[in-house]
Amino acid sequence: MSQSPLAAEWAVLQNQCDSYEKFSLLIKLLAIAVLAITVVSGSESLLIPAVLLVLWLQDAIWKTFQGRIETRLLQLERCLADRDGPTSSHHEPYQYNSQFAENRPGTIALVAEYLQQALRPTVAYPHLVLVLLALLNAC
């Protein structure tokens, strides 16, 4: 039996969502490596906390993209759970990019969304700790 278009879309997006999580972890590990190299080398530059802040924001941006995928996954899951199948156009398969384009926030709202992601505990850790340690090291 072949997979339904909704189930196929769910499988692709779930794989992407998991992939985003792995790359978020890599960003965190890179931040840890930056601080470790800084401490080992004896560097006391204020540039290091700035680099760590950039990595933190990049992680937040990455998690924002992941959050959009999660939103679509939840829609697909609701639709797949409905025995009657899709009931409106926003539940049609292969509409992730169209839905994003229709709902893309303006610049200020997008920056606010990134900052909101940056403050989530799973994103803020270890970035906040690393920035504080880098500042202590630089002072």
pLDDT in tens, 9-66: 989 999 999 999 999 999 999 999 999 999 899 888 889 999 999 999 999 999 999 9
Q: Are 56 and 131 in contact (CB under 8 A)?
A: yes
- CA-nearest of 24, 26, 137, 120 to 128 is 120
For residues 99 and 94, give the distance between their C-alpha atoms in angstroms, rounded to a whole number. Answer: 10
Q: Are 134 and 54 in contact (CB under 8 A)?
A: no
For residues 17 and 69, give the distance between their C-alpha atoms in angstroms, rounded to a whole number. Answer: 6
Judge if pTM exceeds 0.85. no
* Structure-token match 């759970």, residue found: 81
